[in-house]
Amino acid sequence: MSRRNQYLIGVSAIAPVWFAVTFYLCMMLISIVDTTDMRTTVPLWLKIACAVAYPVRYLLPESGITGLSDRANGELGLLMMVVNSILWAFALVFLFRFLARLFSARKREVTNAA
């Protein structure tokens, strides 16, 4: 199996899971913010998890882009969430493969030295 296929299989396995987790975290954050009057009651772990899983949410205005309709803003948000999950999946697959190569190279060094 070529490296490209390994990356594609890894990304196709991780990206949907990352998307689902990100969507769930964002919906949980929105429901907490909508039900409470003060934003300080949102748990810190939830704020950090949302910032790590979907940092684009904090870069865009909360009410969306002013020239677009609500539907277009929603579709743009979902599109950016999909792109975000694919980029995170590529980063995680690269990191896992890098660590696997690093540990296998160290294992070979120890085996060859013995």
Is the pLDDT reported for residue 49 higher than 70? yes
Provide the pLDDT for residue 37: 67
Please compute the mean of the pLDDT values over residues 96-113 and round it to a whole number. 77
Provide the pLDDT for residue 16: 95
| Angle 24-26-32 from CA coordinates, rounded to 5° | 100
pLDDT in tens, 60-96: 777 778 888 889 888 888 899 999 999 999 999 999 9
* pTM for the whole structure: 0.78
Buried b / exposed e over 9-34, threshold 16 CB at 10 Å, is ebbeebbeebbeebeebbeebeeeee
